[in-house]
Chains A and B, each alone.
Chain A
Amino acid sequence: QKEVEQNSGPLSVPEGAIASLNCTYSDRGSQSFFWYRQYSGKSPELIMFIYSNGDKEDGRFTAQLNKASQYVSLLIRDSQPSDSATYLCAVTENNAGNMLTFGGGTRLMVKP
């Protein structure tokens, strides 16, 4: 059974700090990796996706992928209170079905 694991948190960081969110996955066949942000009562919104080992940067967000360790992370620089949300890691295999398997999410709290 495919599993995606995240620490449920809450992860509390002060405003302006770097928030580091981690995710591990069990299926070595996983090929694409996604980070979604979900505010309470709302549906997930895509932040970033990454396919290749290494880092991918987009504004204040950096996704890091290490397929050998089956590990993907999301760094949020200069954290803002508006970043407070649940962050969902999702993975999918290399197939046209593109079915996402979600982790349980990490709740991030950025304190002013």
Chain B
Amino acid sequence: GAVVSQHPSRVICKSGTSVKIECRSLDFQATTMFWYRQFPKQSLMLMATSNEGSKATYEQGVEKDKFLINHASLTLSTLTVTSAHPEDSSFYICSAKTGGSWTDTQYFGPGTRLTVL
């Protein structure tokens, strides 16, 4: 299947700092990437949908000024958690679609575990 990478895999930061997470599609071009957040023992919650060259679409309740998303190319999307606080500690996972059709599947990156002290 298609390969999606994320970097870093794990990050620990102090409260108030900003953290950038990269999501790359390694062997395909992804017009659409998605960012999810998963708290312990809970399912994935979609945060935003990122389309190359346009502004991301955020889900209700997700602060767009806090979670900055940039999809600058067909293989790279970044999520920046600004002024992180302990409640932002979570497992952040990106996914990418292999094409523009509704039948195309999403492949997930390995995730980034963020811990805010």
1/0 contact string of A75-112 vs chain B (CB within 8 Å): 00000000000001000111111111111110000000
Contact present for B102 and A93 (CB under 8 Å): yes
Kindly specify which of A12-20, A42-50, A57-65 makes contact with the partner chain.
A42-50
Interface size on A, residues (CB 8 A): 27
Q: Is the interface of A mostly helix, strand, loop or mixed?
A: loop
User: Total A-B pairs in contact (CB under 8 Å)?
Assistant: 59
Contact present for B110 and A100 (CB under 8 Å): no
Contact present for A46 and B44 (CB under 8 Å): no
Provided the pairs A32-B102, A88-B44 are in contact, do residues A100 and B107 lie with their beta carbons within 8 angstroms? Answer: no
**Which chain A residues border B116 with CB–CB below 8 Å?**
none
Provided the pairs A43-B93, A97-B49 are in contact, do residues A102 and B106 lie with their beta carbons within 8 angstroms? Answer: no
Residues of B within 8 A of A (CB): 1, 32, 34, 42-46, 49, 91, 93, 95, 97, 100-111, 113
